[in-house]
Chains A and B, each alone.
Chain A
Amino acid sequence: MFSTEQSCWFVRKVICWRAVASIAWAVLLLLPITVVFVILSRFSLLHPIQTISECLSFLSCASAIFSLILLCGVIIMVGFLNLEYYTVIPTIACSKIALLGQLLHPRQCVNSLAHCIMGIIVAWCCAVTIGGRYETIGYPCTQGDGTDGSPQMCLNEYHLFLLLAGAFVGFSHSLLGVIYNMNYVSFHTVQQYKYLRFKGSLPLVVKCSAAQALYSVRNYIVVYFFLGYIPKAWICKTLNLHLNSSVHPLDSVAGLLDLSLLYHQWISASFLLFTWHITLLLFRIFVTEVYIFPVQSSFTEDAHQCLPKVLTDKQPMILKFLALQDLALLSQHSPSRRCEVFGLSQPGGHPHNWNAITQECLSLLADLTQRLVAYHDTVSTNGRAKSLSTGSDRKTSSETSITSCPEDLMSPRPTLLMKTPTSVFARSIVGPSQSPLTAPFTPDLDSPFASPALRRLTAPVDQFSPGFGTVQSPHIMRRAPKLWSTPTDSQGNGSPPPSPASVPSPKQETSKPSRLAQFLQNRKEQVKHFLAKRVLIMYLFNKLPEASSQALFADSQAHIWALEGLSYLVQASFSEDQFGVVQTTLPSILGCMLVLQEAVDRHFKLPHASSKPVRSASSMGDSAHKTLRFALRATLKTAIYRITTTFGNHLNAVQMSAEHRKRLQQFLEYKE
């Protein structure tokens, strides 16, 4: 396939190398981190010089080198898992059961298992490093009954305690990774060089590693206190070891009240988490680095690597995001590349670059608008809409999109209809896990108890998006006449208005199965009503406030860049656009932005939409996705103001509907 070949190009040539570079740096940093760990773990206040000489002698012995090699292997593995599991669009669970579904997903189970094993390996290395009583799993001992002097092998519980702690910390790290979206890679608004960014976030990483280690160790001790006898008995049985009855067992209060044990526990957990977090941090920094795509290439074989072409690619998401980031930056900072965007093609004199870029940006924005409108619709009808109608709608829409394909290909902007929701919801590296269409909502949909509102929420999204220029949902047309009163403006492209043939047909079909649907709906309501009385069920299935709003804006970083890119380009066109290519699309850009503005305003009037998320003080999880909707709202307003302040009263000459003009006048008078 052509498109996969291209995505391979980017992943192969750029992302993989960036990941390799980040892993290499993490491996290089491992040595100093290990040295610090060795010093801290063996430090004794009374003999500082002796400590240092001991550390030096330890670092030069074979076991240290072997454990260092093992640690390198673990780091490489962690880096590989980062590359495999990262995403630029966070997966947001809308209810507790959805979160549970994420945690129990096979893909996630593999991840957790891998982290457990790596945790054990790291803990073994720590045990070797700390030495002393932790070093081996068995030790020769004589049982206390005195009848025989034959030495036996006894279980060294300290060693086991440390190994299990490693497994526990690894496991909890992987669980917390899901809960806090640790695999989400966010892009920063402030561009900095990699070294400076690393240096800037290093204190935070140290702090949150230490804090998380503390919590993990606390939890682990509680678990071990109650359940510690199980692994102990199992290990004794399989390895044929004995329990030494003369020492305190560790799953007792007296055994756990050992400060040096707790300190070693905590420092090795911190070491483990710190190395992993550093790997993650480096991966994030390297992957989100700006990549400069050429605007146009003089060689046709490089054409698929150029910005206008890359923007329209759907897979991988990281490519689309980096392309949009590059667009936003070039529109702000580099006049020479802007010049290429405004330029005309050499034979023919068409503004292909500009057209392709605006098409893609506008379709992204229109897509978001439709999602918002659909969501608002479902919420305002409180999920009581006919849910089966969506199924038939979906069918018809897919049919129409197929039939409309040839027609669309003839239209001047074929890139537009390539847009499917995949490009919006898809994860960058699609694993076997979730169908990319519904990533934010999947677990809910799979469960039989999902609220119909959610089902309908996802359904419109995938039914409208393919070729939204040609298919209009009937109930959208009905319920939100205000938003769609000006279809050509609102869709922001030159595609033909909905053909009369395709629109009524779903209407007819939806009226048919409605009685059956009503019956099923009623039964389901009854079941739901029954279940809703059970507290646990309620707890699991209640929607988390503002989570659906977050999910709706999960990929809004792309929209933010699209808005910034468009508005800066339009602003620059005021003085730099020599051929007037921007003027032709100015009405549709303004229309698209104003419609989106209206939809966003309406969305923020919903309950929970404008409530601020609680700031998580220190965790490696990136909470940037929780505030994306606020960022989008601010960027949208600024983008419109940027255009209105640049053009001023000249905008009165732009063709647009009366309603949009009224809206724009508000902006011209600074009253928004």
Chain B
Amino acid sequence: MCSLALFPAPLPSGQTTLCESNNELLSATATDHPLNQESCPLGLYFPRESLKLHCRTESSSKAAFLDHSETLWMRSAAAWRDGGFTGLLDEITNSNTEVPKCLSVSSGFTLALLRWFSSFHGSLFPHLTLSSDDMHAEFSQVLNWSDCVVRAFAWHPHADKFAVALLDDSIKIYNPKSATTPTLKHRLQRSVAAVQWKPLCASALAVACQNCLLVWHVDPCSLSTRPSSSCAQVLSHPGHFPVTSIAWSPSGSLLVSASPMDTAMMVWDVASESGVPLQRVGGGGVTFLSWSPDGSHVLASTPSALFRVWETRMWTCERWPCVKGRCQSGCWSPDGSRLLFVVQGETVIYALTFSDATAGVPTCTSKGPQAAAVVADLSETTFNTLDGDIIVGGEIQSLSWDPTGERLAVLLKGDPQAAGRPAIIAVFKTRTNPIFELLPCGFVQGEPGAEPRLMQFHPNFQHGALLTVCWSNGRITHVPFYFLSAGVPHFGFSGSPSLPRPQERPADFASQSLFTELLS
């Protein structure tokens, strides 16, 4: 089992990680750093000051206008529209001078009963009492979501372009081959929690918003910088908000969305805008979704100490109760046979192995493993550097596995209050033969004072793996890992043409020797 003690020490302050080459992480000092970033074509910088934030919400704007008296009916109708049944009751209770006494008393009584009941429900599932924004922050994969300039990031699965969701609720699409950067804005696009491109499609981008799910169709050939909101499909289902996580099926046909408030996970057929709720009551909601790259399983974690693994053939699920906390994040190996996940409150990475031997048998659900195995221990470790002791480790925010299955990036939460305990990205090398194990690679660090908030691997980087990191200061950088992929992807046995990846050749020797060196 791998632990952080085997890692090389973090860089001294002022140095940033540039890339991995020849099996070691190269770094540069901060002085030549800006130059370096300028030269990188897709390196972006969003200073917080440049964003025009709208700090008002709908309810607070009411105070700006003069109060004028409406009739009780009008107010009741407005309350019904804005706040639903409880809003109506609230309105009736408050305007007790105008309504008959018995009505206001009874509505007050009903309201109290409802509140009591919901508090009971809330005590069962504490997350239900959170506000929408808090819920986003709590369950997002982004570290410190509410304060983050870049709130979501997504590489296109095939083409070289990506979408960035910013703090001001706009989404920008960057494509190095085109001069236009379309900016997507929509009335309903608020508090973006996640964005994801549809696989096997050039244009569709799904956005998880506060009240609904948007699917933008951004024509890649269009020269327009502000696609109109008619390019967006709105998918909503009663009770299914806020949406905190979405996942496209790798075949591009279905989209699943999850909301911590809704016990049902929605499976959308986006083209026909119809959704099928998959209801399972336990857990009190669904927070995080991850579809395995081979399309056979979906990980769905709940706010309670329980997560589910759905098989996508007949949509049945296995329950996985955790001991300590909820499942915070997870990722699948490229062949979909292995799931790594982390649990809130624990500092280890677990692995589950699924055998797909049953794939040919149509009616049988795939028989999963019996227990999860611990593959890495990330408990706190102290490194002595020139700047003093740095404590690295602790709870894990998110996991990301590169598409070749050779590098695993782990975003460690750190402790923002304490000095010397920064949030940091630890990168592991992974190998599956002869046994699955994680080997240390190194830490990825940015400019001084910048914390990593969000990371994602490029889905088809030719020379190894490319990790994109969004930093707390609004900068987006890319860290390439140059290596020769040893694990050949699964299709392509003898006789059939190999994948169009020119660098690919059996290169066991390179990694083998180096791994033994590190291990000894």
For B143-169 the 0/1 string (1 means CB < 8 A from A) is: 000000000000010110000000000
Which residue on chain A has the smallest CB distance to residue B363?
Answer: A292
Please report the C-alpha to C-alpha distance between residue A85 and residue B313 in the assembled complex, in whole angstroms. 31
Stretch binding the partner chain, chosen from B96-104, B249-257, B336-344, B476-484: B249-257
**What distance in Å separates the Cβ of A587 from its nearest Cβ neighbour in chain B?**
17
Tell me, yes or no, whether B360 is within 8 Å of chain A by CB. Answer: yes
Given A196-B315, A671-B220, A188 contacting B272 (CB threshold 8 A) = no
Q: Which residues of B contact A (CB under 8 A)?
A: 156, 158-159, 200-203, 220-221, 251-254, 267, 269-274, 276-279, 313-316, 359-360, 362, 491-493, 495-497, 499-500
For the complex, what is the distance from the CA of A575 to the CA of B360, rounded to whole Å?
16
Whether B254 pairs with A189 at a CB distance below 8 angstroms is yes
- Bound-state Cα–Cα, A200 to B267, Å: 13
CB-based nearest A residue for B156: A670
Distance in angstroms between the alpha carbons of A612 and B495 in the assembled complex: 48
Q: Of A334, A634, A642, which one neighbours B359 at CB under 8 angstroms?
A: A334
- 11 cross-chain CB contacts under 8 A: A188-B276, A191-B313, A191-B314, A192-B276, A193-B316, A200-B279, A329-B362, A334-B360, A631-B271, A641-B158, A671-B220
Chain A residues in 8 Å Cβ range of B279: 199-200
**In chain A between 156 and 207, which residues have their CB closer than 8 angstroms to a CB of chain B?**
188-193, 196, 199-200
CB-CB under 8 A from B158, the residues of chain A are 641, 645, 670
Q: Return B480 CB to nearest CB of chain A, in Å.
A: 22
Please give, as numbers and ranges, the residues of chain A lying within 8 Å of B492 by CB-CB distance: 575
User: Closest CB-CB distance, B66 to chain A, in whole Å?
Assistant: 37
Mask for A299-315, Cβ within 8 A of B = 1, else 0? 00000000000000000
Residues on the B chain within 8 Å of A574, using CB: 491, 496-497
What's the Cα separation between A334 and B360 when bound, in Å?
A: 5
The distance from the CB of B80 to the nearest CB of chain A, in whole angstroms, is 17
A191 to B220, CA, bound (A): 33
CB contacts under 8 Å to B, within A553-600, are 564, 574-575, 578
Contact in complex: A575, B272 (CB < 8 Å): no
Partner of B272 from A196, A578, A627, A638 at Cβ < 8 Å: A627
Chain A positions within 8 Å of B159 at CB level: 669-670
* Docked pose: A649 CA to B500 CA in angstroms: 8
Interface residues of A in 324-346 (CB under 8 A from B): 329, 332-337
- In the complex, whether A608 has a CB less than 8 A from a CB of chain B is no
Q: Say yes or no: is A394 at the interface (Cβ < 8 Å to chain B).
A: no
> How far is the CB of B281 from the nearest CB of chain A, in Å?
12
> Once bound together, how far apart are the Cα atoms of A200 and B281, in whole Å?
12
> What residues on A are CB-neighbors of B495 within 8 Å?
578
Interface of B is mostly: loop
A637 and B201: CB pair below 8 A?
A: yes
Given A191-B315, A638-B200: A670 and B220 within 8 A (CB)?
Answer: yes
Given A190-B267, A200-B279, A638-B253, CB of A627 within 8 Å of CB of B362: no
Q: Given A630-B272, A645-B200, verify A332-B316 contact (CB < 8 Å).
A: no
A190 and B254 contact, Cβ closer than 8 Å, known pairs A627-B273, A641-B201: yes
Q: Which residues of A contact B315 (CB under 8 A)?
A: 190-192, 196
Contact check: which of B271, B362, B499 meets A333 at CB < 8 Å? B362
Residue on B nearest A648 in the bound complex, by CB: B500
> In the assembly, what is the distance between CA of A104 and CA of B284, in Å?
51
List the B side residues contacting A362 at CB < 8 Å.
none
Summarize A's interface: helix, strand, loop or mixed.
helix
Cβ–Cβ contact A200 & B272, under 8 A: no
Q: Kindly identify which residue among A189, A333, A575, A670 contacts B313, using a CB–CB cutoff of 8 Å.
A: A333
Please give me the 6 A-B residue pairs with the lowest Cβ-Cβ distance, nearest first.
A627-B272, A634-B271, A575-B491, A670-B159, A641-B200, A336-B360
Contact A332-B491, Cβ < 8 Å, known A191-B313, A628-B272 = no
Nearest-CB distance from A318 to chain B (Å)? 20
Considering only residues 632-654 of chain A, those with a C-beta below 8 Å from chain B are: 633-635, 637-638, 641-642, 645, 648-650
Which residues does chain A contribute within 8 Å of B497, judged by CB atoms? 574, 650
Q: Could you say which residues of chain B place their CB within 8 Å of the CB of A192?
A: 276, 278, 314-315
Within 8 A of B (CB), among A401-451: none
Shortest distance from the beta carbon of B101 to any chain A beta carbon, whole Å: 23
Q: A576 to B406, alpha carbons, bound, how many Å?
A: 26
Over the window 509-523 of chain A, the binary record of Cβ atoms lying under 8 Å from chain B Cβ atoms (1 yes, 0 no) is 000000000000000
Given the interface contacts A633-B271, A671-B220, does A189 sit within 8 Å of B362 by beta carbon?
Answer: no
Give the complex CA separation of A672 and B158 in angstroms.
Answer: 13
Rounded to whole Å, the gap between the CB of A296 and the closest CB of chain B is 16
Docked-complex contact B491 and A189, CB < 8 angstroms: no
**CB neighbours of B313 from chain A (8 A):** 191, 333
Q: Which of A335, A615, A628, A671 has the most CB of B within 10 A?
A: A671
- A672: chain B residues at CB < 8 Å are 202-203, 220
Please tell me if A261 contacts chain B, counting CB pairs below 8 Å.
no
Residue of A nearest to B361 (CB): A334
A642–B251 CB distance below 8 A? yes
Q: Which of these, B270, B274, B278, B491, contacts A634 with CB under 8 Å?
A: B270
Q: Are A635 and B316 neighbours in the complex by a CB distance under 8 Å?
A: no
The yes or no answer to A624 lying at the interface (CB within 8 A) is yes
Bound complex: CA A627 to CA B269 (Å): 11
Query: Pick the contact of B202 from A631, A648, A670 — CB < 8 Å?
Result: A670
Indicate with 1 or 0, residue by residue over A371-408, a CB within 8 angstroms of chain B CB atoms.
00000000000000000000000000000000000000
Q: How far is the CA of A641 from the CA of B201 in the complex (A)?
A: 7
Q: How far is the CA of A638 from the CA of B270 in the complex (A)?
A: 13
Known: A633-B271, A670-B220. 20 other contacts (CB 8 A): A188-B276, A189-B269, A192-B276, A192-B278, A193-B314, A200-B276, A292-B362, A333-B362, A334-B362, A335-B360, A575-B493, A627-B271, A631-B269, A634-B271, A637-B201, A641-B201, A645-B158, A648-B500, A671-B202, A671-B220
- Please give the distance in Å from A335's CB to the nearest CB on chain B: 6
Which residues in A have their C-beta under 8 angstroms from that of B274? 624, 627
| Bound Cα distance A189, B279 (Å) | 17
A189 and B253 form a contact (CB under 8 A):
yes
Complex Cα spacing A190 to B273, Å? 13
A467 to B: closest C-beta gap in Å: 33
Which of B200, B220, B253 lies at the interface centre, i.e. has the most chain A CB atoms within 10 A of its CB?
B200
In the docked arrangement, what's the CA distance between A222 and B272, Å? 37
- Smallest beta-carbon distance B310→chain A, Å: 11
**What chain A residues lie within 8 Å of B201 (beta carbons)?**
634, 637-638, 641
Q: In the bound complex, what is the Cα–Cα distance between A624 and B274 (angstroms)?
A: 8
